[in-house]
Chain A
Amino acid sequence: MLCKLSPTGAAGPSGKLLEQSEKSVSAPRNPVVVVGAGHAGGTVAALLRQYGLTEPITIVGEETIAPYQRPPLSKAWLKGEVDADDLMLKASDFYRENEIALKLGVRAVRIDRDAKRVHLNDGEEIAYDTLILATGSRARQLAIPGVALDGVQALRSIADAEQLKSKLGKGKRLAVVGGGYIGLEAAASARALGAEAVVVELQDRVLARVACEALSTFLQNYHRARGVIFELNASVAAFEGEAGRVTGVRLADGRLIDADIVLVGVGAIPNDDLARNAGIPCRDGVIVDGDARTSDPSIFAIGDVTQRPLAVYDRMHRLESVANVLEQAKQAACAIAGRPTPPHEVTWNWSDQYDLKLQMAGVAFDTDEILIRGDPAAAGFAVFHLRGGRVQAVEAINAPPEFMMGRQLIAAQRPIARERLSNPAVSMKDVGA
């Protein structure tokens, strides 16, 4: 069901919503509008209903598909282990049954904060009482020749993933530009599908921005043993092609890497223009408080698009993870529904590559010590990042206890006994005791 308002704002939503509002004639209708139909937008709308909110809710999204989970796109979905239906965040009739209007295939172009209306690119305006920005982030583009060639792509949406998947298979050659998590996951999935994979990375190691050297080295070795080729310290000069279709990646040193498909995974940029143009303070993301509220009390922002407080570290940061999405969706939904603010969470993320389960918690801000527990050669170990003897972050590889207790240690922020933490013979339960 689409929620349509006339430009004058006089008409109400159609269907059941209208019947409901007619029943409670005197009650003020306080529409909630969610901009962005991704994991964040779908989750916050569902939570608002779960928390008993009866006001009209409209989700506006650019993609023509209901909210879905993106993490499997580079993992299980790419390998064909789950299908599109499995990706969907909610059951197909969920939005109708919960009177959540999905307005898909349109883009919000302007927020009129004085009139409390969102302008869409199809000319429509939607009135809001509460606005939630869940516009996410977009893939950073490279400014080099050949980026517009067919077969040079990012991996953000299911459309991207379908395009990538259609080009992968036995004997195909994937070139990944950027040794981040998405690139590594795609390389692992490509290998599982029988394709060749080359990862080109500007730094001297993969995951240079987000992981420590021990983990980078371990992962490089693990991928190499499974046929992935790494070009480190390598800068891409151009993408080359024939008849408009990519055929290779030209490195700055002149070498050409042949490729049937190129995945560019060099980071993401928050889609905060809508907020910035409306005068809401942004700095690499929309600045929000611990309730996910922006400087405008009627406007919330959640997910990748936000610059948010991290209570454990007492600083602002922008995160890109499902855990962040869910935490902020809860914060916003609680604030809007009049529930108490949910407890702070330690941020975390995960990655699947081959038979490896990577679980990361916390952020390694200004750390002064690294402790490795377990044996990287045995593919079961954890890296703890400490500051002043307190655990700030953990990266666990096939090591769930280290990850689970690591989260608790990060939350507690008390000094840790190093010799116990680094000794795998001492159980993590005992380390945390």
Chain B
Amino acid sequence: MTKVVYVEYDGSEHVIDVKPGYSVMEGAVKNNVPGIDGDCGGACACATCHVYVDEAWVQRAGVPTSMEEAMLEFAENVEPNSRLACQIKVTDTLDGLIVRLPESQH
């Protein structure tokens, strides 16, 4: 299992053991972490799993695809470290990953 720390907009932390191979979105939704909706189940079709990757983890989290970038462009309050959590696959190298959640997913 890989630890992922989800920090809600209000600062509440959720430390979740996520099965390697799952996405960061699945780790949140399957464990009822508030603030990540993941409407489309990970098809990169909805942009309701927007997260801010902690600066220390940005590189290890990888590079967004053009599809992800195009979706993110229209999300709200996008920052350089914005990602769609469904497009970040959890692996051993991401043990301890910290992501922060936006105020809402619309």
Q: Are A90 and B32 in contact (CB under 8 A)?
A: yes
| A307 in the interface (beta carbon within 8 A) | no
Determine, out of A54-62, A221-229, A255-263, A398-406, the stretch whose residues face the partner at the interface. Answer: A398-406
Please give the distance in Å from A390's CB to the nearest CB on chain B: 19
| A89 in the interface (beta carbon within 8 A) | yes
List A residues 327-377 near B (Cβ within 8 Å): 343, 345, 348, 350, 352, 357, 359
Q: Are B74 and A46 in contact (CB under 8 A)?
A: no
| A203 in the interface (beta carbon within 8 A) | no
Residues of A within 8 A of B40 (CB): 71, 322, 350
Please give the distance in Å from A91's CB to the nearest CB on chain B: 5
| B62 in the interface (beta carbon within 8 A) | no
Please give the distance in Å from A153's CB to the nearest CB on chain B: 23
In angstroms, Cα B47 to Cα A72, docked, is 18
Given A88-B30, A401-B70; A357-B46 close (CB under 8 Å): no
Q: Are A90 and B31 in contact (CB under 8 A)?
A: yes
| B44 in the interface (beta carbon within 8 A) | yes
Chain A minimum-CB-distance residue to B37: A326
Chain B minimum-CB-distance residue to A405: B74
In angstroms, Cα B74 to Cα A90, docked, is 28
In angstroms, Cα B37 to Cα A400, docked, is 18
Chain A minimum-CB-distance residue to B26: A86
Please, what's the 1-or-0 string for B13-29, where 1 marks a CB less than 8 Å from any CB in chain A?
A: 00000000010001001
- The dominant DSSP class at the B interface is loop
Residues of A within 8 A of B70 (CB): 400-401, 404
B-side interface residues, number (CB < 8 Å): 23
Of B30, B43, B67, B75, the contact of A94 (CB 8 Å cutoff): B30
Q: Which of B43, B45, B67 has most chain A Cβ within 10 Å?
A: B45
In angstroms, Cα B48 to Cα A359, docked, is 14
Residues of B within 8 A of A408 (CB): 74
In angstroms, Cα B40 to Cα A323, docked, is 8
Residues of B within 8 A of A91 (CB): 30-31
Please, what's the 1-or-0 string for B66-106, where 1 marks a CB less than 8 Å from any CB in chain A?
A: 01001101110000000000000000000000000000001
Q: Are A357 and B41 in contact (CB under 8 A)?
A: no
| A69 in the interface (beta carbon within 8 A) | yes
- The dominant DSSP class at the A interface is helix
Q: Are A71 and B41 in contact (CB under 8 A)?
A: yes
Of B29, B34, B37, B74, the contact of A404 (CB 8 Å cutoff): B74
Residues of B within 8 A of A46 (CB): 32
| B55 in the interface (beta carbon within 8 A) | no
Please give the distance in Å from A304's CB to the nearest CB on chain B: 15
Q: Are A357 and B39 in contact (CB under 8 A)?
A: no
Q: Are A400 and B32 in contact (CB under 8 A)?
A: no
Of B39, B45, B73, the contact of A326 (CB 8 Å cutoff): B39
| A295 in the interface (beta carbon within 8 A) | no
Chain A minimum-CB-distance residue to B19: A85
Q: Are A49 and B41 in contact (CB under 8 A)?
A: no
| A98 in the interface (beta carbon within 8 A) | yes
List A residues 62-77 near B (Cβ within 8 Å): 69, 71-72, 75
29 A-B residue pairings within 8 Å (CB atoms): A49-B32, A50-B34, A69-B41, A71-B43, A72-B41, A88-B30, A89-B29, A90-B30, A90-B32, A91-B30, A94-B30, A94-B31, A98-B32, A322-B40, A323-B39, A345-B106, A350-B40, A350-B45, A357-B43, A357-B44, A357-B67, A400-B70, A400-B74, A401-B74, A404-B47, A404-B71, A404-B73, A408-B74, A428-B74
Q: A94-B32, A350-B43, A429-B74 are in contact. List 7 more A-B contacts (CB 8 A).
A: A50-B32, A89-B29, A89-B30, A90-B31, A322-B40, A326-B39, A400-B71
